[in-house]
Structure formats: structure tokens, C-alpha cells
A and B are shown apart, each in its own frame.
Chain A
Amino acid sequence: MTIHEFLAPPAVSCQRSGPNDQIVMSSRVRLARNLRKLPFPSWAKKPDRLRVLETILPAVESLPQLDPHFASAMDDLTPLDRQILVERHLISREHAAKSAGSGLVVNQEESICVMINEEDHLRMQALRPGLQIKACWQAIDALDSALETKLDYAFSPELGYLTACPTNLGTGIRVSAMLHLPGLVLAEEITRIINAANKLNFAVRGLYGEGTEALGNVFQVSNQMTLGESETQIIERISKALNQIIEEEENARTTLLEKKPKSVFNHIGRAYGILANAHTISSKETMNLLSLLRLGIDLGMFKGLERSVTEEIFLLTQPAHLQQQHTEKLGAEERDILRADMVRDRLRSVQRPQAPK
């Protein structure tokens, strides 16, 4: 079975919903773990990497909470498959570039994904739609406790779980949420919010993690410190910050509608105009305009258009997902044309936006 056949199509996966999902697109908790006495992936030679994969993969696959799941060595996946996994936020761009000795296990719900031999021997993550940090932690904590009986973890009572990079040392936890913040961007308040989050030692990044652009007004907020605080303390601290950002985004939207309604409607109307009528469009422009369409839906400007549809188009118009729908190899120009065709078609029956009363 290929990964395409295994994963739910975007039309289905984008229907998944959760609390606060108007602003919080998804929550994630990741744990980093390593095996004792074996070199970390980037320092290990191929035989050691293969040994780690052969040890971890069966242990992970034997866990009942992962059923039904898809498992594969990274070198058995085509470059297109790997890019699809990146676009679905299941693996990192770094992991997509890995070859022999790296692997992945993902369950059908896409709520748990395990990367083997990424930066650490084992990186397991729980994902949920909307704001569900605690549920993510409970799921991944249980998975980790089940695995620790099968694997010989590198752990020190003083330093905690030992990781390749000392920035992940201790709990090895990375808690993050993907936020859609068009209000704060339009109100030019986003820099203030990012600085405030940084001051609390949270990192704010773009759509695909480290070093990526803040496309489509999507921001990833995550903890940076992993040692000296327990998992629960970290989760409580970041949950508080996330709730504040949600409130700020709501306030920004309200203020914008009060003070500059025409400017807001203008942005949304023009976004609809371009998306519904363009004949060639880049992935970047599509993401930025879909963000405004999504804002319009939140404000009640589109009748009969669901937020999940914008998410589906968002995913389907990403380069690898677009390529996957066509048998012939597409160049960038052809992709831009096919992307515009698809978006036009999807928006054909959508009524023009109306200013909310």
C-alpha cells in the first residue's frame, strides 16, 4: 500500500475539527528520545543507523495505539511521497531529505507520527486539530511509556533524556500550535505579539517550522526550553501564552471591523476576486489569499462556504499535492496554471462575499 492510498484524502482529513479551530489550526507535542551507546543519527555510520532502525521500527509497529498504521523506510518512499508528508506536517523537511536508515510510522488518523533517525533516534509526535495541547501530551506520554519497556533509552537522572542537540535535553519535549493570525497581521500588531512571545522564551516560526516564511498568516508557536521545568509546567506556560494570543487575535479582528471595515472587506473581496478568476497563480500567492478567504468565512461574509474547504484547497494546491493529481511531471509554470484552474473551479459555485450586517 502506498502512502496516498493509506492517508485519508484532503477532502476528508480537512473535516477534522477541534476546539478554537477558527484561530488554532492544530496542536502538536513532540518527544525526542535516543538509545544508549549508539551514535546519534548525524554522527552514525550507515550500519549503526540501520541497526537503530531495525531496533526501533518493530517496537513502534507493535504498539496497539498506532493501529492501523503505515510504516516505511525513508529510502523506500519516492521524493514526491516525502514531500506530501511534509505538506501534511507529518514529517520535517529535514526528515524528508534523509536516506538509508531513517524511517517513519504514521497512523491513519494522522494523530500520531513517529520519525526514526531524524536528528535523534526517535522523534514521536501527537497531533490534534484545534487547541488540544493536553490531549496531545497524554497521547504521546502513553506512547512513550509503552516504548520505554521495549527500548533502552539514554536517560540520566540529572540531565533527563539525552538528545543529539543540548537544546532538546531533559524532557525532550516540543509543544507547538499552528495559529492563523490574519487580524494581527492586518492590524500590524504581529511584531509586538512575536516579541512578547519571544520574551517568554517561546519561538515563533513560519508554516513549515525552522527557518521558513510566515506564509498565509500562519505562525507556529513553540517552547524553546526543555530542561529545568517539567512537561506539565511547560504545557501550562505555553497554553497560557496561546490563550493570550487567541484573545489578541480576536480583539484585533473586532477593532479592525470597528475602525477600518472597508479596508478589511477590500482585502477579502480582492482575495476572492483573484482566486475565483486567476488563470495562473503561485503557491505562495494562493496561500496568502486563502488566508483572507478564511478570515472572510470567520467574519460570516461567505454563505455556504466552510472553513474546511479553504483548508482543503490550501493543501491540494501545495506543489507535491498538485503534482500527485497529475500523471505527467509538471513544471513550475504548468503547476501555476493547473493550480489556478483548480481554485477557479472550486470557487465557481461560491457566492461573492457580502459585508456582514
Chain B
Amino acid sequence: MLCNVCKLNEAKVHLTKIVGDKMQKVDLCEDCSKEKGVDDPTTYSSEDTFLGQILAGEPAAPEPSSTEPTVKCPTCGYSQADFKKAGRFGCSDCYATFGEGLEGMLKTMHKGVRHTGKSPAAFQQTRAEAQKLKLLQKRLDKAIAEENFEEAAQLRDEIKRTK
């Protein structure tokens, strides 16, 4: 999670304030929290106005210059500008279309940038098959290098069957 102020450093200070029964939240890096004087959680003196300032809204992002060529998603017609406005994509192919720079954004949101959870069974199967093929290919290369032709022939058959 990145600092709400400088948007550069990892946020280390997390402030939540309950005003009435509304909750407000700000995440800051160490530098910015010191600069704003809210690094010490026991003194919340300046926090009210400060939280208000940040939560009142960030300055609007500059309009993209008209000379910039617009990349559009071939599947759904979504543009980078649409994404900046909505914070959401147009379709699942947009992840490939706008893949550049995606990793930086994902880093600010998530624990990692690679999926490590559940996969559909069909994908698991393809992945297992791919791994098996790779292993067989390796053994085949080794058998050929060692001029072990009988084993090589067997491995070739097995690879054919797996494919």
C-alpha cells in the first residue's frame, strides 16, 4: 500500500478517525507523517484539518494531451483515459492491452503481483501437462547426449502420447 500524500513510499502510518459515526482513513509513509506532524499516534492535534485536506479530494489528474495516440482495447474499445476516469477496466482483455505499467499499480494495491491462489481445474491440467512435457524433453536431451538411443526412442514415444 502506498502513501496517500507522496504516492512513492510504502505507507507505514495508518490513521482512521471516526467523525460522528463516519469513518475516514489515510495511509502515510514515515516521511510524510513526520512532515504533517502525525507520526506520534498519541497526539492527534493537527489531524482533523489534515485528514480533511487529504480526504477533500486529490488534485485532478492532468488531461491527456490530444497529440498522444489513444490505445484502445481491441475487444471492448476501452481507452487508457476511460480507465483513469473509472479506475476499472472494460473487459478481461484490457489487462493485456494496458499491461504496461500495470505491475506498478498492482504493487500499490496487493501483497504481490503474481497469482498464487486457486486456478480453474482445466488450467491446472494444462499446467501439469506442460510440466510433464518439459521434464520428458529434458530426459530426452540427456539420453541423446549420452547416446542412449533405446531410452531416447521410448521417451520420444511418451512425448508423442502426452501431446
Say whether A and B bind each other: yes
Binding site for B on A (CB under 8 A): 34-40, 42-43, 119, 141, 144-145, 148-149, 153-162, 164-167, 169-171, 173, 190-191, 194-195, 198-199, 201, 204-206, 213-215, 224-231
- Least CB distance from B54 to A in Å reads 15
Cβ–Cβ contact A194 & B89, under 8 A:
no
CB distance from A31 to the nearest CB of B (A): 9
Docked Cα-Cα span, A336 to B47, in Å, equals: 37
Interface residues on B, range: 35 or more
CB distance from B39 to the nearest CB of A (A): 13
Interface pair B109/A37, CB less than 8 Å apart: no
Q: Which residue of B lies closest to A203 (CB)?
A: B25
Chain B positions within 8 Å of A149 at CB level: 121
Task: Tell whether, in the assembled complex, residue B117 and residue A230 are in contact, meaning their CB atoms are under 8 Å apart.
Answer: yes
Contact in complex: B121, A171 (CB < 8 Å)? no
Contact A227 B114 (CB under 8 A): yes
Provide the main secondary structure of the chain B interface: loop
User: What residues of chain B lie closer than 8 Å to A204, measured between beta carbons?
Assistant: 16, 23
Interfacial chain A residues near B91, Cβ < 8 Å: 37-40, 43
Any chain A CB within 8 A of the CB of B61? no
B binding-site residues for A, Cβ under 8 Å: 1, 14-18, 20-23, 25, 27, 41, 75-76, 78, 82, 86-93, 95, 102, 105-106, 109-123, 127
A37 and B93 contact, CB distance less than 8 A: yes
Given that A37-B75, A159-B95, A227-B110 are known contacts, is A214 also in contact with B116, CB under 8 Å in the complex?
no
Q: Given A171-B118, A228-B110, are A157 and B14 also a contact pair (CB < 8 Å)?
A: no
Q: CB distance B92 to A36 under 8 Å? A: yes
10 closest pairs, A vs B, by CB? A228-B112, A160-B115, A154-B92, A228-B111, A227-B110, A162-B92, A171-B117, A198-B14, A43-B90, A230-B117
Q: Are A158 and B23 in contact, with the CB atoms below 8 A? A: no
